[in-house]
């Protein structure tokens, strides 16, 4: 059974309250009235306003330029990202950065995958710059004040955060080219398919499974090469299965561009988002919705095509893909393509081919129909404005519009109204930082003032302002507060602190700090950073008050707060990690440097098990 952190923590607090470990409702649910918890919720509105006006995109596109080396590129990208991450939500910044990085990488001829996850790590670390920069810092400050202990100054840990942030940038600038093997060109390294055949797909390219049908009689009797499909599918597509009148086509010998198509042939393809968008408008070919929806809907002018990643509260989770009830009922959507969470990463090409064919079998098996899971990456045909309406909801970790109107694509410069909104939202963000940094106004009041002005001045619609409040983070913090109270009341914190000091005493204060950091980072794989800070806070305080090996409280808390920002052990440790991991696959750390690059696509055959897989490879001689 898979449960989200907020559900686990709130449930645990409820059990502790019913069991008597928490004496009263204030101890259990006092977090709901905590000004810091409310500030975390309201700051989401400020971040959404800055995101909505496009000021982040505006800043990035004027700073990035055209660097020639990866070292220069990661530094250029870090310049605007680091101050933004220290001011507003990392998730908002990353949501804007993903399409910016993809567009920018095409211009500088570097793979986007080499920037996405590293930038998530950089922004996480630099997010501890100020007390108001990240929710984990705010929670730590609140807990100190609640216990009557001396709080941090707004920028007391800034030197530590800057040092760690710069060290992170330098490490990634050196390590990424070494570990992930950057080549001189964007040409992807092909992955060898089983039994020595031609490449199945390219390593590090995000692909989706889609279903197309030869709907026009014009292509009937034509070869695959003559049809133009190879041009659309590109260099990294594979035809996983071909069906004719409900039966899989069995081919004796090589399957190549001379394979003859017939009307109503169905092709299961494993291809890129760009190819899928081209197939939508490709003549004589229909893109069939995998959920059984009507194929013609995605051609409607009142609809758009989006890419999403399912989150924990999405009603699609555990529902069958082949049923149109939930997709149509919840969103009025059809599923054009899917990349299941189980197929996000492949270390071996044999595993990739096997996984893809197994999944196609699940799609066709009515008794064992595939069920959606958290982390599934979908391409949906949805009603117009879907991306804008669901951008900040808890249904999806990522919502990105793929289709673009002609009038929108023709727009170049920023319009006057949009420019005004960008300037206003940027000014309100600066005002918020100045008010809090100068202690002119408490954080909650300053955040509320900025949020109200964002809405009143037209920078953010009221509906989006309410949807920007992340209730799940609030519940996570409240639940963690309750558990932390119970840990303190039952003397469990004192016992654990004593054990920690006894174990790490031979290593001195550095050993204590290392123990706190390791525990914080380890728990960050499972829990949100705010929950980790709340759970470990009483233990850290007890360690600082221990007679065995006392350490200064603020130093120990600074280690805890920096550890909370280092949620880098897993692609699912933090929201921005999830967004990046599902966006581009990180290649295997063991590069195939001796594989020859083959520039032009052609169709070849791959044998997997006892069936035949038809795939797009690349010919050495460049023949079409």
Whole-number pLDDT of residue 46: 86
Does some domain include residue 370?
Answer: yes
Q: Is the CB of residue 28 less than 8 Å from the CB of residue 17?
A: yes
Given this model, what pLDDT does residue 246 score? 77
How many structural domains is the chain composed of? 1
**What is the Cα–Cα distance from 375 to 396, expressed in whole angstroms?**
9
Instruction: Report d(CA 427, CA 375) in Å as an integer.
Output: 36
CA pair distance 64, 86, nearest whole angstrom: 19
9: in domain: no
98: left (phi over 0), alpha (psi -120 to 50) or beta: alpha
- Residue-level pLDDT at 406: 45
Q: Quick check: 47 and 465 in contact, CB under 8 A? A: no
Residue 384: CA count within 13 A, CB half-sphere: 7
Instruction: Please provide the size of the chain in residues.
Output: 624
Domain membership of residue 427 (yes or no) is: no
CA torsion angle 420 424 429 435 (round to 10): 160
Q: How far apart are CA 153 and CA 132, in angstroms?
A: 10
What is the per-residue burial (b if ≥16 Cβ within 10 Å, else e) of 542-575? bbbebeebebebbebbbbbbbbbbbbbeebbbbb
Q: Which structural domain range is residue 303 located in?
A: 194-409+601-619
| Angle (CA) 15 21 27, round 5° | 90
401: β partners: 306
pLDDT at 526 (0 to 100) = 67
Residue 179 within a domain: no
pLDDT for 188 equals: 41
Q: Report which secondary-structure segment, H or E, holds 388.
A: helix 386-389
What 8-state DSSP symbol labels residue 81? Answer: H
Residue 253 lies in a domain: yes
Residue 588 counted as domain residue: no
CA atoms within 13 A on the CB side of 177: 14
Residues of the chain under the 50 pLDDT cut:
182-204, 235-236, 252-254, 296-297, 346-351, 406-412, 582, 584-624
Residue 337 CA neighbour count, 13 Å, CB half: 27
Cβ neighbourhood burial of 53 (10 Å; 0-12, 13-18, 19+): buried
In a domain, 550, yes or no: no
105 occurs within a structural domain: no
């Amino acid at each position: 059974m898979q449960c989200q952190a907020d559900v686990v923590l709130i449930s645990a607090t409820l059990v502790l309250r019913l069991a008597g470990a928490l004496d009263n409702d204030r101890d259990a649910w006092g977090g709901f009235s905590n000004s810091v918890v409310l500030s975390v919720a309201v700051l989401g509105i400020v971040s959404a306003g800055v995101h909505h006006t496009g000021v982040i995109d505006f800043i990035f596109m004027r700073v990035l330029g055209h660097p020639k080396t990866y070292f220069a590129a990661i530094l250029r990208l870090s310049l605007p990202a680091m101050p933004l991450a220290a001011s507003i939500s990392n998730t908002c910044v990353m949501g804007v950065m993903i399409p910016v990085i993809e567009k920018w990488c095409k211009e500088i001829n570097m793979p986007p995958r080499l920037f996405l996850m590293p930038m998530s790590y950089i922004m996480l670390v630099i997010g501890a710059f100020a007390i108001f920069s990240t929710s984990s810092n705010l929670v730590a400050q609140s807990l100190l004040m609640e216990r009557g202990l001396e709080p941090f100054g707004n920028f007391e840990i800034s030197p530590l955060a800057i040092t760690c942030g710069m060290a992170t940038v330098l490490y990634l600038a050196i390590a990424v080219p070494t570990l992930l093997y950057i080549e001189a060109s964007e040409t992807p390294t092909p992955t060898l398919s089983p039994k020595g055949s031609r490449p199945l797909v390219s390593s590090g390219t995000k692909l989706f499974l889609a279903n197309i049908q030869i709907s026009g009689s014009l292509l009937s009797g034509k070869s695959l090469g003559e049809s133009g499909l190879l041009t659309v599918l590109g260099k990294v597509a594979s035809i996983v299965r071909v069906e004719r009148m409900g039966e899989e086509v069995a081919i004796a010998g090589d399957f190549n561009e001379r394979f003859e198509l017939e009307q109503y042939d169905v092709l299961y393809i494993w291809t890129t988002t760009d190819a899928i968008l081209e197939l939508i408008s490709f003549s004589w070919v229909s893109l069939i919705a995998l959920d059984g929806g009507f194929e013609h809907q995605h051609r409607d002018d009142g609809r758009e095509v989006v890419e999403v990643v399912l989150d924990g509260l999405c009603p699609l989770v555990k529902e069958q893909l082949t049923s149109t009830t939930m997709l149509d009922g919840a969103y009025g959507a059809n599923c054009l393509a899917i990349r299941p969470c189980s197929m996000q990463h492949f270390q071996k090409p044999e595993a990739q081919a096997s996984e893809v064919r197994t999944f196609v079998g699940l799609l066709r098996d009515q008794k064992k129909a595939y069920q959606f899971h958290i982390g599934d990456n979908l391409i949906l045909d949805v009603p117009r404005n879907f991306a804008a309406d669901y951008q900040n909801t808890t249904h999806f970790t990522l919502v990105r519009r793929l289709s673009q109107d002609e009038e929108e694509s023709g727009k170049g410069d920023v319009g006057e109204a949009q420019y005004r909104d960008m300037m206003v939202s940027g000014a309100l963000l600066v005002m918020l930082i100045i008010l809090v940094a100068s202690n002119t106004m408490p954080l909650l009041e300053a955040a509320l003032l900025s949020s109200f002005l964002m809405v009143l001045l037209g920078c953010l619609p009221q509906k989006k302002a309410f949807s920007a409040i992340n209730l799940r983070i609030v519940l996570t913090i409240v639940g963690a507060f309750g558990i932390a109270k119970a840990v303190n009341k039952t003397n469990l914190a004192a016992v654990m602190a004593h054990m920690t000091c006894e174990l790490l005493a031979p290593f001195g204060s550095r050993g204590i700090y290392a123990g706190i950091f390791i525990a914080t980072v380890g728990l960050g794989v499972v829990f949100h950073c705010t929950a980790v800070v709340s759970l470990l806070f009483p233990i850290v305080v007890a360690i600082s008050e221990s007679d065995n090996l006392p350490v200064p409280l603020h130093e120990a808390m600074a280690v805890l707060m920096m550890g909370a920002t280092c949620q880098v052990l897993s692609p699912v440790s933090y929201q921005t990690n999830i967004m990046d991991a599902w966006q581009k696959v990180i290649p295997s750390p063991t590069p195939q440097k001796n594989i020859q690059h083959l520039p032009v696509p052609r169709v070849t055959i791959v044998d997997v098990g006892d069936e035949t897989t038809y795939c797009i490879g690349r010919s050495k001689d460049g023949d079409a």
